[in-house]
């Protein structure tokens, strides 16, 4: 992955030996390929891959692979959603039926499946969903659009921002046990933190 941020040569994983074992094993496991989805079908995973990439404007395959694995695991087996608004289907149903509606919706509106659309139209269709404006109406009558968008966003963002490649890119030095952070005045950095490169 090309690092596009202010810290092109920073790699947070170079510091992993300084982390406690539990943190190290959790973070390192995110770099392993996730396969054999337990909830998502092949077709659903394909659509989600595209949707999630648009939501965070990043197509890096290994990062998206982790995001999909996280979504699959959460929908397969989750201790709960924390909260769900009255009238909104449970997450597995919301996502499954939501993906169906996205595909059918674009077929009716553009005579093409979601994956066949160009990036501009895909993005526009997701924007419509985020504003509860996606059409045609009959296909969306049973799926609450904003909650669908919010659920997709929340599942995508929590996984995306947990991938060490993204940590490196944004200059997040991350785990700091047992060593902690020592230089914490404004403008100070510890020697192992990301340094801005001009």
Q: Residue 143 or residue 152: which is nearer to another protein going by CB? A: 152
Size of the site for another protein (CB under 8 A): 63
DSSP 151: H
Residue from 27, 47, 64, 139 touching another protein (CB under 8 A): that is 27
Residue from 1, 6, 62, 110 touching another protein (CB under 8 A): that is 6
Q: CB neighbours (10 Å) of residue 158? A: 13
**Radius of gyration for the chain, computed over Cα atoms and rounded to the nearest angstrom:** 19
Residue from 54, 62, 107, 117 touching another protein (CB under 8 A): that is 54
Residues 6+ apart with CB under 8 A from 66: 30, 31, 34, 159, 162, 163
Dihedral angle sign, alpha carbons of residues 183, 184, 188, 189: positive
Number of alpha carbons in the 13 Å side-chain half-sphere of residue 91: 22
Given a contact cutoff of 8 angstroms between Cβ atoms, the answer to whether 53 and 137 are in contact is: no
DSSP 163: S
Residue from 35, 185, 191, 198 touching another protein (CB under 8 A): that is 185
Residue from 82, 120, 141, 198 touching another protein (CB under 8 A): that is 82
Position 123 contacts another protein (CB under 8 A): yes
Position 188 contacts another protein (CB under 8 A): yes
> Which residues within the stretch 131-150 sit at the binding site for another protein (CB under 8 A)?
131, 149-150
**Interface with another protein by CB under 8 A: which range of 22-30, 40-48, 96-104, 105-113?**
22-30
Position 55 contacts another protein (CB under 8 A): yes
Given a contact cutoff of 8 angstroms between Cβ atoms, the answer to whether 156 and 148 are in contact is: no
Q: CB neighbours (10 Å) of residue 42? A: 7
Q: Cα angle at 116 between 61 and 59, to 5 degrees?
A: 15
CA 104 to chain centre: 23
Residue from 41, 132, 177, 197 touching another protein (CB under 8 A): that is 177
Q: Residue 45 or residue 189: which is nearer to another protein going by CB? A: 189
Position 180 contacts another protein (CB under 8 A): yes
Binding site for another protein (CB under 8 A): 4-6, 19-20, 22-23, 26-27, 54-58, 70, 78-86, 90, 123, 130-131, 149-150, 153-154, 157-162, 166-167, 169-182, 184-189, 193-194, 196
């Amino acid at each position: 992955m090309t690092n596009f941020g202010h810290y092109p040569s920073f790699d947070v994983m170079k510091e992993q030996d300084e982390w406690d074992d539990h943190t190290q094993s959790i973070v390192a496991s995110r770099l392993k390929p996730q396969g054999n989805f337990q909830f998502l079908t092949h077709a659903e995973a394909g659509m989600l891959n595209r949707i999630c990439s648009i939501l965070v404007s990043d197509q890096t395959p290994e990062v998206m692979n982790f995001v999909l694995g996280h979504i699959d695991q959460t929908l397969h087996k989750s201790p709960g959603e924390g909260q769900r608004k009255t009238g909104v289907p449970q997450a597995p149903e919301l996502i499954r039926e939501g993906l169906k509606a996205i595909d059918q919706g674009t077929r009716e509106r553009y005579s093409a499946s979601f994956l066949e659309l160009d990036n501009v139209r895909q993005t526009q269709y997701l924007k419509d969903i985020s504003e509860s404006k996606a059409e045609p109406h009959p296909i969306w009558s049973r799926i609450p659009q904003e909650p669908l968008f919010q659920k997709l966003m929340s599942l995508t963002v929590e996984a995306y921002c947990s991938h060490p490649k993204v940590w490196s890119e944004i200059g997040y030095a991350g785990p700091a046990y047992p060593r902690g952070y020592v230089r914490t005045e404004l403008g100070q950095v510890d020697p192992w933190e990301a340094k801005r490169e001009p």
